[in-house]
Amino acid sequence: MTSAFPSSASGRPRVVVIGAGFAGINAIHELRGAPVDITIIDRNNFHTFQPLLYQVATSYLPPEQVGATLRTVFRRQKNVKVRVGEAIAVDWDGQTVELKDGSTVPYDYLVISAGATTNFFGIPGMAEHSYPLYTMSDAVRLRLHLLEEIELAARDNSSDRSHETVVVVGGGPTGVETAGSLAEMSCHHIGGEVDLRVVLVEMMPRLLNTFSEQSGEQTLKDLRKRGVEILLNTSVKSADEKGVELSDGQRIDTHTVVWGAGVQASPLGRALGLELGRGGSVVVEPDLRLPGRDNVFAIGDIASPKRPEGARPFPLVAPNAIQQGKHTGKQIARLIQGQPAEPFEYFDKGILAVIAKGDAVAELPIPGRAGKSFKTKGFPAWALWAGVHIVYLVGFRNRLKTLTDWVYNFGLSSGGGGILVRASRGGKVDSP
């Protein structure tokens, strides 16, 4: 096979980045002034701001406000080429990445940042009948489905509540934020015509297991205040097209099961024959390089850095991916200059989870006091959460537009855009 990109005409080192998530784009940004030629490979031509996908799914934000095209992201970085495609193999000796279309991309330095995929933990029927919330396609698919179900419930006068019932599986940040947003959606988009029933199912004895017990209890209280039914110490045994069976023997009839209970590393690591750790992640050295391969890094959700005995693994959160990306860009620049790579150190900036509009919980580490954190809730925590997310959004336009939309919707209790657009069988969109 011939290479899709010949050897760099400039004679500069070629850096190939697989995956346009937080880790990948931050690695590239860190190399903006380096004497390298970069190719980023992703199956999509855009970067997705995953923490806000649930707001797309519940119609509070349009997709374009939580996504940015890669060519726009890197429009001022002249050493970057965007290649839309799916990496399926690597020729380690020949130093080329093979794409699904049969073409290859050569590299001198390779960064594997392919992220993660949904993990259904083998629950029967869950993969076929639930709506995960990890990609932009997931969010748009759930958004259209929810609006369809609301319309079906509005015209159904029977006692069957399956069309207006939503089961959210998982009491972590994704599940909590989705459940809270669905409760808000019930008020803002439906206007009382349909009483949306939201049920949150969590197998642990409390919500937000990675937060303090205090924050978990506050979240439980606030969600219940908004009408969310919460089932703790309960798991889903199976799912089908008409509902779910729970571990306590209860059955809930619904056409909408939102999966927020877990992810696993991208299968690319297994396909490449690499050493795997927890959740199928790729084992890497403390400096984030593959063992025995000094010019290959694996970062973000796909990576599992070696840690001292007894140390906790790094959290699978956006700040960790961002920091690993920046670290990797710096290390490639060091290696080019003949300097040794340095180990990665994660700086914990705290954790936040939004419960609903104007309500959240936040825990921020206190400098110099190991294991101690400053905890806040309610509007101050929500304002902090909103500010952090605005800062991390890619692209000034996205930040400004999202901020103004949030302020508008918050002030007027507006639901934003619950517009249902159906596609006809011929692929054309029906006129409203």
> E strands along 11-164, which residues?
14-18, 37-42, 46-48, 67-69, 80-84, 87-91, 96-99, 104-106, 109-112, 116-118, 131-132
Residue of 30, 164, 177, 285 marked catalytic: 177
Neighbours of 308 (CB within 10 A): 6
The DSSP line for 36-81 is -EEEEEESSSEEE-GGGHHHHHTTSS-GGGSEEEHHHHTTT-TTEE
Q: How far apart are CA 334 and CA 323, in angstroms?
A: 17
Count of other CB atoms within 10 angstroms of residue 230: 20
Relative orientation angle of helices 22-30 and 318-336, to the nearest 10 degrees: 30
Q: Which helix (H) or strand (E) holds 366?
A: none
- CB atoms near residue 213 (< 10 Å): 11
Task: Give the pairing of strands 293-298 and 109-112.
Answer: parallel
3-state class of 192 per DSSP? coil
Residues 6+ apart with CB under 8 A from 147: 59, 189, 418, 419, 420
Instruction: Provide the angle, in degrees to the nearest 10, between the axes of the packed helices 396-412 and 378-392.
Output: 150
Backbone angles phi, psi at 353, to 5 degrees: -145, 130
Q: 217 catalytic, yes or no?
A: no
Q: How many CB atoms lie within 10 A of CB 255?
A: 20
Q: Nearest Cα to 361, choosing from 211, 181, 232?
A: 211
* CB-based burial, 190-207: b 16+ in 10 Å, e otherwise: beeebebbbbbbbbeebb
- Both tokens of 341, joined, read 């790579």
User: Rounded CA gap, 104 and 6, in Å?
Assistant: 10
DSSP string, 276-325: B-GGGPEEE-TTSEETTEEEEEE-GGGEEE---TTPPPPP-SHHHHHHHH
State whether residue 228 is helix, strand or coil. coil
Active site residues: 177
